[in-house]
Amino acid sequence: MEAGMMTSRSSRSKDSSLELPDTECDVVTVPARQGLEAVDILRRGAGDAVGPVLHDDGCDTLGFLVPPGTAAGWDVPGSTCTETDGRGLRLAPESSADGADWLLPPGEAEPATDPAVLREALDEAQRMIEAADGRS
């Protein structure tokens, strides 16, 4: 897996604050800059459109929880979607103070982000980044 995440057959670890919810999900991993822009776009949208999001400081990525099965049809350039097959994910232990943590923790967000809505937000975020960087 990417972004310092690893799979685990165990559904609970000693530090449950860093675990994904006890439910099946896939994880879309994107560069942090694009992901943060997408979170802003999703939060400005109608309703609560964004689910739990992981931020991995060490690898500079964000991971969006999406419904299971999303990985089968995910084709957004610059991102990956990983199946969890119902296995709980936990963050790989970090030796430094800069480890991965929840940007939007489970319980404070929707159970998962709608993949179609996420795709649109990531596309818009990429266009905003390109415009800010002087590329079109």
pLDDT in tens, the chain (136 residues): 343 343 332 233 334 445 555 568 899 999 999 999 999 999 998 666 899 999 987 779 999 999 999 999 999 999 999 998 656 554 333 333 346 788 888 887 788 999 999 999 999 999 999 999 987 6
Phi and psi, residue 116, nearest 5°: -65, -40
Tokens 């992981």 belong to 54
> What distance lies between CA 136 and its chain's CA centroid?
26
Residues facing 19 on adjacent strands = 90
76 phi, psi to nearest 5 deg:
-85, 120
Cα dist from 76 to 86, 126, 133, whole Å: 23, 11, 20
